Amino acid sequence: MKAAIIILSDPNSEQQESLGRVFNALAAAYDFKEAGKEVKIIFQGTGTRWPSKLIDKDHPAHSLYTAVADKIAGASCGCADVFGAAEDIKKVGLELITDNAVPGTTGLPSYKDLLEEGFTIINF
């Protein structure tokens, strides 16, 4: 059993739903990690804005974020470019993922590759 957890929610929406989604994504990753299962977290779409928020020690999901930080595969490069998060992703030290060379972008994660590698994709 392997899971790829994709975080798409937008922290800039300032809605409780967005915080709930990222919290539950990280909690799911923690559940897989604690069970010794393979899991990776990918920030995509407006979700590429989350890492710069989650590193703040006062953020309510900070402790959970740090507990699963070793399971973060990175963030979509193309999405980070579009949503203005590329510099923040670099500052927090995450990889910019470019596996899927979508025309007109700097690349995105490949869902095809994840499925071929046996990952179940879970979107938040």
Read off the pTM: 0.96
What is the per-residue pLDDT for 122? 98
What is the per-residue pLDDT for 14? 78
Q: Report long-range pairs for 56-64 (Cβ below 8 Å, ≥24 apart).
A: 60/19, 60/23, 61/19, 61/22, 61/23, 61/26, 64/23, 64/26, 64/27, 64/30
What is the per-residue pLDDT for 7? 98
Q: Number of structural domains, the chain?
A: 1
CATH of the domain at 109: 3.40.1260
Domain of 64, in residue numbers: 2-123
55/118 Cα distance (integer angstroms): 30
pLDDT tens-digit profile of 49-89? 999 999 999 999 999 999 999 999 999 999 999 999 999 99
Token pair of 67 as six digits: 């507990």
pLDDT tens-digit profile of 11-60? 998 789 999 999 999 999 999 999 999 999 999 999 999 999 999 999 99
